[in-house]
Amino acid sequence: MPAPEEPQPAVGIGRERQFEIYVGGARGSYPTVPVSFERLERGAQKSMSREGYAYVAGGAGTEETIRANRAAFERWRIVPRMLRDVSVRDTSVEVLGTPMASPFFLSPIGVLEMAHRDADLAVARSAAAEGVPFVFSNQASRPMEETAAVMGDGPRWFQLYWSTSDELVASLVSRAERCGCSAIVLTLDTTMLGWRVRDLDLAYLPFLRGRGIAQYTSDPVFLEALHETLQQASPPAGRISLAAISTLWEMAGSYPTRRLEGLRSGLARAAVRRFVETYSRPSLSWDDLAFLRERTRLPILLKGILHPVDAVAAIEHGMSGIVVSNHGGRQVDGAIATIDALPGIAEAVAGRIPLLVDSGVRSGADVFRALALGATAVGLGRPYVWGLAAGGAEGVREVIRNLRADFDLTLGLAGVVSAREVGHDNVTRV
């Protein structure tokens, strides 16, 4: 045992994780989920339904934007610096008062039940254990109260879709406040669903099966309106096919009463109908933001910003941050890659509010490059869903730990000791 005053060799999370894996191998135990992103996705695919995999993996149209997100990262190269004593590294950042153990958070992903039955709860447990913020989706599979309850003090934000009912918007936001969420992320890019070819080919949309609507079916405002819908609802017309019966059965399984009761009362079907009527608000405009600003004391971030002029407008409308995002290529096919949009937005924003970015982040090098181009932190999307599908909460935890380790090593090997010090000098465009 070294004397307490003797300096301990700093290892950092990167080296700890590497050695854990290598030493495990020497003893005959191997990572529970693949470390490589490609193998992780292939493994996840095997454990998911055809529809579930298509829903998560797919994008809009020809999926050009999914590819563009990756290509944009790959055009930026890290230029490592040498002899800079990188033995002690600090990967933490803080965004709007929320501490992040590493400069990334889990982006909001709806319908996680398609990856694993523990869905949001599994993700929440793992995020909290690693000190990584989890952004609860408006389209979650579990009510935010249940998800928050498994997180202890773990950092969390709430992502909002602005529905046709302002009353519902206000209700969701006040529930998020009570759940300990420390920011609201308003997603702007999904006022309508993009043209998602994989889902269209399978004629499958999870919400129409009652999946991913738990924030609604647990909301008092939604439930009140639901009873009105129920009174107007007519029984399904004409002959009912076997497929329709199976859909009704699926809907009832997702409704938070006993399955038979949900079916018999008509509530499960009415909830889906009411959701479809409420969900989308294409008329949303900048003037609406004042309503939200008045309803909460929490910082509000706008997700889906891709143009510098919109970024400046966000500041002018009292918004506290921006998530530069193209929704993982799921909305506008041919949209600009977020890493291509980031430098112009960073210049326009000039450090006035934090800039977050997601879409295409797959490695520690991607996190590093995003920080170099002006992001304060990045959002992780599909990779944690693949971890969830492959190994439940443990799978998510492995994905998070691997990304934290990968970033820590990339940071040090690039010659930088703090996530806050990564700058434009550390990268070059090829």
Ligand X SMILES: Cc1cc2nc3c(=O)[nH]c(=O)nc-3n(C[C@H](O)[C@H](O)[C@H](O)COP(=O)(O)O)c2cc1C
Contact set with ligand X (CB under 6 A): 55-56, 107-110, 137-139, 159, 187, 303, 325, 327-328, 330, 358-361, 379, 381-382
CB contact at 8 A, 364 and 409: yes
Q: Which is nearer to ligand X, 111 or 226 (CB)?
A: 111
DSSP reduced 3-state for 105: strand
Residue holding tokens 């009292």?
318
The CA-atom distances, in angstroms, between 35 and each of 26, 363, 402 are 17, 10, 7
Q: Which of 116, 227, 307, 327 is catalytic?
A: 327
CB 229 → ligand X: shortest distance, Å? 23
Cα 231–Cα 237–Cα 239 angle in degrees, nearest 5: 145
CB contact at 8 A, 359 and 329: yes
CB contact at 8 A, 252 and 263: yes
Sign of CA dihedral 71, 133, 397, 125: negative
CB 230 → ligand X: shortest distance, Å? 26
CB 330 → ligand X: shortest distance, Å? 6
CB 325 → ligand X: shortest distance, Å? 4
In whole angstroms, give the CA distance from residue 155 to residue 151: 8
DSSP reduced 3-state for 59: coil
The CA-atom distances, in angstroms, between 135 and each of 54, 120, 181, 184, 316 are 22, 10, 9, 9, 24
Q: Which is nearer to ligand X, 29 or 49 (CB)?
A: 49
Q: Which is nearer to ligand X, 182 or 331 (CB)?
A: 331
CB 385 → ligand X: shortest distance, Å? 6
Q: Which is nearer to ligand X, 44 or 361 (CB)?
A: 361
CB 263 → ligand X: shortest distance, Å? 27
The CA-atom distances, in angstroms, between 373 and each of 99, 105, 309, 365 are 21, 18, 18, 12
Q: Which is nearer to ligand X, 381 or 392 (CB)?
A: 381
327 is catalytic: yes
Q: Which is nearer to ligand X, 387 or 412 (CB)?
A: 387
300 DSSP β-pair partners: 184
Q: DSSP string covering 343-367, please?
A: HHHHHHHTTSS-EEE-SS--SHHHH
Which are the contacts of 372, defined by CB distance < 8 A and separation ≥ 6?
76, 78, 422, 423, 424, 426, 427
Closest CA to 210 of 226, 197, 195, 192: 226
CB 24 → ligand X: shortest distance, Å? 28
Q: Which is nearer to ligand X, 56 or 148 (CB)?
A: 56
Catalytic residue positions, numbered: 327
